[in-house]
Amino acid sequence: MRTKLFLHIALLLLVPLLLTGCWNKRELNEIAIVIAVGIDKVAETNDFQVTFQVMNPTAIASGVTGGEGGSNTPITTYTETDKSIFEAIRKVSKKVPRQLYFSHMQVLVIGEELAEEGINEIFDFFDRSSQIRLTTKVVVARETDAASMLKILTPIDKVPGESMAKKIEITEKSWSETINTEIYDVIKAMVNIGREPIISGAKIIGNPAEGENKSNLEQAVPQGLIEIDGVALFKEGKLKRWVEGNQIRGIVWVQDKMQGTIMAVDCRESTDAIGIEVFRSKTNVTAKVQGGKPSFEIEVRQEGSIGEVRCPIDLTKKESITKIEEDWKEATKKEIEEAVSIAQSEQSDILGFGEVVKRQYPKAWKELKNEWDKNFAESQVDVKVDAFIRRPAMRTKSYLSEIKNEGEQKGG
């Protein structure tokens, strides 16, 4: 009995020794939460210019209407220059009164000039850091540098870096003319033969100088605004060109990332008069290797609904739906073929065809990968699309048909 009691007492005394506590804790009033990081290159010195967008907690706290929080901007930016990103981060401590904290980082912005020079060297720090998540989004600043973009104050969402991240997500789901590229995606594409990085772009709309002022948040029409625009096509780590509009959707389809978009097809004499919402899409890419030459077949199956009709058409008729589906198929096929043509013309496999060959023909891939850029550019690509209209939304027959009939009766 005494032995059991002694053991119980000993265990109770040992348990506190296992409770080591938060040995590496960080108090909120000791850290500066970094929401976004921008990287540029200084041409004169070849140094990295690193800009940090730091959240101001007092300014974004809910219910703050005046006083200290009301007079502050939601974020503050700090910039430092050095030979490496790591050195610049430590060096900026001379300007920031708190320790930089990267666990809530939303976006990494790369300046356009740096992207053209090459991005292969800039990701090691982010890949190595224990704080930074590899799911952090990456964008390229179009027609400006990353530092200028991180200074723009954005309405609705008070923290600009978070606002930019949300724009990428929303656009990807509803419009599909952008690609949600994360740090992990870029690194994976750079280290794998048979895949090149592709990164969404962002540009400043309006007056950049006015966009930095707090008054930009107090106007119905902001003087400076960040817009997600285009995607950057890379080859060997360098920005080669920008891909625009519907061509981006072609890439999204091939990569099987289509979540939703709106497509317009003609209706009789009216151009782009029928709007189709794509709500389901599946893409399958297969490869064949014959005589040492690869070829590919892209098969797309998609479903959608009629979202808008600007012509007198009766959607209860099967032939009307069939005609819309055929036109939709052709429009989709054209966009995919344009995307493939762009990638092949640049000899940049942003579509991941090399990964398909590697997976399906591992032996042939050992020979093809040595000159994959050329093999990819010369490969034959066939596109097949199946498209189905599942519902005409709230109406089967547009009121425009009634207007037309009424007009014909009056004219008669």
Contacts of 236 (CB under 8 A, 6+ apart): 118, 196
Q: What φ, ψ does residue 178 adopt, rounded to 5°?
A: -150, 160
Q: Which of 30-44, 53-67, 94-108, 344-358 has the lowest mean pLDDT?
A: 53-67
199-234 confidence digits (pLDDT tens): 999 999 999 999 999 899 889 999 999 999 999 999
Q: What share of the chain is helix, strand, coil (3-state, %, to 5)?
A: 40, 30, 30
Confidence of residue 67 (pLDDT cuts 50, 70, 90): very low
198 membership: H or E segment, kind and range: strand 198-206
Cα–Cα distance for residue pair 371/38, rounded to 1 Å: 34
- Give the position of tokens 């990332």: 257
Number of Cβ within a 10 Å radius of residue 31: 16
Residue 276 has pLDDT above 70, yes or no: yes
Q: What is the DSSP letter of 273?
A: E
What are the beta bridge partners of residue 262? 277
- Upper half-sphere CA count for residue 359 (Cβ side, 13 Å): 11
Rounded mean pLDDT of the chain? Answer: 90
Angle between helices 245-254 and 318-345 (to 10 degrees): 90
Calculate mean pLDDT across residues 355-383: 97
Cα–Cα distance for residue pair 289/85, rounded to 1 Å: 44
Confidence of residue 158 (pLDDT cuts 50, 70, 90): confident
pTM over 0.75: yes
User: How far is Cα of residue 327 from the mean position of the Cα atoms in its chain?
Assistant: 29
Residue 195 has pLDDT above 90, yes or no: yes
Could you give the domains of the chain? 26-243 (no CATH), 245-412 (3.30.300.210)
Read off the tokens for 339.
């995307």
- Upper half-sphere CA count for residue 149 (Cβ side, 13 Å): 30
- What three-state secondary structure class fits 277? strand
Within 256-361, strands assigned E span 261-267, 270-290, 293-309
Cα–Cα distance for residue pair 59/37, rounded to 1 Å: 20
Quote the percentage of the chain above a pLDDT of 70: 88
Residue 4 has pLDDT above 80, yes or no: no
239 membership: H or E segment, kind and range: strand 238-243
- Give the position of tokens 């976006």: 107
- Give the position of tokens 């043509």: 341
Rg of the chain taking only CA atoms, in angstroms: 27
Q: What is the DSSP letter of 276?
A: E
Give the strand pairing for 137-141 and 75-82: unpaired
Q: Is 161 exposed, middle or buried (0-12, 13-18, 19+ CB in 10 A)?
A: buried
Give the strand pairing for 75-82 and 198-206: unpaired
